Amino acid sequence: MDNYKRLLIVIVTIVIQLPVLGSISYAQNDDYDLPDIGINIYKSELKSRSVDDIHSEAAKDVREGNYDAAIDLLDYIINRIENNPAVKLSNYVPKIYSNRARAKLFNGDFYGALEDANRAVKLAGERAQRNKGYRHSDSYIFFNRGMVRQDMRRNKKALGDYNTAIALNPNIGYYYNDQGIVLLRLGRENEACKSFRKAIDMGVKESKKPYNSVCQ
C-alpha cells in the first residue's frame, strides 16, 4: 500500500509540473517559434535586385562606415555568386571579395579580411589570364590587401601590394601615402619621404604629418 501511495504522489507531481515544463521548453525555442518576418521580407526584396545594385549599396555602406550592414549584403551576394557558375566568372567578382575584405578589416576581423583579400587577388589573377592582362581598376584590389597586411604588421608583403597597385594605377595619392608608411616601418626613410612627398603633391593631407616629422 505504501508503494502505491508513493507512485500516486510521483504521478500527481509530474502532472502538476507539465505546464511549467512546457513553458520553459517554449521559451528556450522562442527564436524558432517566432520567425523574424522583417528579415524574411528583406531577403525576399534582395532576390529581386541585381548583384550590381546590391554591391553598389554595400560599397556605399563601406564608405560611410556601416561595416556590419556592408558585410551582410556582401555575404548575401557572395552566396549567390558561389551558387551560380555563370556569375562566378563575371569581371566584378574580385572587387566584391575585396570590398568585403575592406569591411572586415575596419570591423576588426583581420584574418577574415586577409582571407577575402587573398581570394580577391587570386580571382583578379585568373581574370587577367583570361583577358591577357590586369585592369587599371585592379589596383584597388592590391591596395586593399596591402592595407590588411599593413594593419597586421606584415610590412614587406604590404609593400609588395602597394608597389603593384601603383604600377597598375599611378594616379591615386593614397597609394603613395600607405607605401610611405610601410617603407618607414622598414627603415627605408629616404624612399618613404619620396612617397609622402608624392602623396602630398597629389593632395593627400594626411601625408604632411609624417613628412614634416621625418623628412624635414
Q: Where do we find the cell 590587401?
A: 145
Task: Say if residue 106 is in the same domain as residue 177.
Answer: no
pLDDT tens per residue, range 143-168: 999 999 999 999 999 999 999 999 99
Interatomic CA distance for residues 52 and 119, integer angstroms: 19
Give a yes or no: residue 67 inside a domain.
Answer: yes
Domain boundary among 170, 185, 204: 170
Domain tally for the chain? Answer: 2
Give a yes or no: residue 111 inside a domain.
Answer: yes
Whether the CB-CB separation of 145 and 161 falls below 8 Å is answered with yes
pLDDT value at residue 33 = 35
Task: Say if residue 136 is in the same domain as residue 193.
Answer: no
Task: Say if residue 198 is in the same domain as residue 162.
Answer: no
Q: Is the pLDDT of residue 11 over 60?
A: no
Interatomic CA distance for residues 142 and 126, integer angstroms: 14
79: CATH: 1.25.40.10
Strand, coil or helix: 134: coil
Task: Say if residue 186 is in the same domain as residue 156.
Answer: no
Give a yes or no: residue 6 inside a domain.
Answer: no
Give a yes or no: residue 141 inside a domain.
Answer: yes
Q: Of the spans 27-31, 58-62, 198-202, which averages the highest pLDDT?
A: 198-202
The three grid cell numbers given for residue 102, joined into one nine-digit string = 575592406
Give a yes or no: residue 153 inside a domain.
Answer: yes
Give a yes or no: residue 205 inside a domain.
Answer: yes
Give a yes or no: residue 146 inside a domain.
Answer: yes
The three grid cell numbers given for residue 210, joined into one nine-digit string = 609624417
Q: Is the pLDDT of residue 64 over 90?
A: yes
| Lowest-confidence pick of 63-72, 86-95, 112-121, 188-197 | 86-95
pLDDT category of residue 80 using cuts at 50, 70 and 90: confident
Among 191, 113, 121, 122, smallest CA distance to 154 is for 113
pTM recorded for the entire structure: 0.77
Q: Which helix (H) or strand (E) holds 76?
A: helix 67-82
Domain that holds residue 130: 46-170
Task: Say if residue 81 is in the same domain as residue 165.
Answer: yes
Interatomic CA distance for residues 150 and 162, integer angstroms: 10
What average pLDDT does this structure show over 118-141? 92
pLDDT tens per residue, range 32-58: 333 333 344 455 677 778 888 888 899
Task: Say if residue 128 is in the same domain as residue 192.
Answer: no
Domain boundary among 170, 189, 204: 170
Cα–Cα distances (Å) from 81 to 84, 89, 213, in that order, read: 5, 9, 47
